[in-house]
Structure 1
Amino acid sequence: MNVEEIIKTDKKMELPSKTVIHLMLVSNKVNETINATLKPFDVSIQQFNVLRILRGQCGKPANLKTLNERMVTKMSNTTRLVDKLILKGYVKRKTCETNRRKIEIYITTKGEKALSSMDIAMNKNDKHIVQNFSEEELEYLNVLFNKF
């Protein structure tokens, strides 16, 4: 991916600017491929993330604060994400018996089954995205990302 070609410039770019633009282009490309992979399942990246978080709770409930803290993309509309997943039958929401102000959110069996299918597609997509990197390069790339 050549940044200068993509943004159609002949000017020499300063390395920090070029790097940031490059990261943005890569991020957009990754998001595009993930969106395309999840489209047949009729879920967004954020909804997929919520389902994965809930599955990781291993049967224990989560609340909106927990979901927000663990989301890859922090957002304020987690309630809306959960509402859409409820309509699909992937999650359920109930009021906590010991604290009526607390809402507990669980993944349903239907949600777990759907997520398993999504996992297969996403694992294939992940491998496709990084296919041009060796394992050593991926390890080093993650070391570099940790510097953010």
Structure 2
Amino acid sequence: MNVEQILKTEKPIALESRSLIHLILVYNKVNEQYASALKEYEISLQQFNVLRILRGQKGKAANLQTLNERMVSKQSNTTRLVDKLLVKGLVNREVCPSNRRKIEITITKEGKELLLELDRIINNTEKDLLADFSKDDLVHLNNLLDKF
């Protein structure tokens, strides 16, 4: 991915700016690929993330705060995401019997089944995105990204 070609500029971009622009362009490409993979299922990447978090609870309920803390994209409106998943029958939402102010959210059987199918699709998408990287490249990339 050549930043100058994508931005259609002949003028050199300062290394610091180029690096950050490059990260944004890569983020956009990855996001587009994920969105494209999930589009057929009418699930957003954020909804997919909520379902994965709930599956990771291993049958235990999660509340909105737990979901917010574990979301990859922190600016997501978790309440809205849960509402959409509820309409699709992929999650259940109940008032906690011991604390009526707390809402408990669990994944349904349908949600788990959909996730199994989506896992394969997302794994293939990730393999495609990372096809040009060796294991050593990925270790090095992660070490560099950890510096952020």
CA distance in 2, matches of 1:93, 1:80: 13
Deviation of the 1:76 alpha carbon: 5.0
Partner of 1:28: 28
Secondary structure at the aligned position of 1:41 is classed as: coil
CA distance in 1, matches of 2:6, 2:75: 30
Deviation of the 1:40 alpha carbon: 1.0
Secondary structure at the aligned position of 1:105 is classed as: strand
Residue type matched to 1:54 in 2? L
Partner of 2:100: 100
Partner of 1:82: 82
Secondary structure at the aligned position of 2:106 is classed as: strand
Deviating runs (4+, > 4 A) in structure 1?
Answer: none
CA distance in 2, matches of 1:80, 1:43: 13
Deviation of the 1:75 alpha carbon: 2.2
CA distance in 2, matches of 1:17, 1:100: 50
Structure-to-structure mapping, 1:1-148, within 5 angstroms: 1-75=1-75, 77-148=77-148
What TM-score do the two structures reach when normalised by structure 2? 0.98
CA distance in 1, matches of 2:57, 2:127: 26
Deviation of the 1:101 alpha carbon: 0.8
Change beyond 3 A, Cα 1:45–1:141: same
CA distance in 1, matches of 2:107, 2:140: 35
Deviation of the 1:93 alpha carbon: 0.3
Secondary structure at the aligned position of 1:133 is classed as: coil
**Number of residue pairs matched by the alignment:** 148
Deviation of the 1:46 alpha carbon: 0.3
CA distance in 2, matches of 1:122, 1:84: 21
Backbone CA RMSD of aligned residues: 0.7
Q: Deviation string for 1:34-80 (max 9, x for gaps)?
A: 00000011100000000000000000110000000100001251101
Secondary structure at the aligned position of 1:83 is classed as: helix
CA distance in 2, matches of 1:143, 1:92: 39
Residue type matched to 1:23 in 2? L
Q: Which runs of 5+ in 1 are unaligned?
A: none
Deviation of the 1:115 alpha carbon: 0.6
Q: Is the 8 A contact 2:46 2:76 kept in 1?
A: no
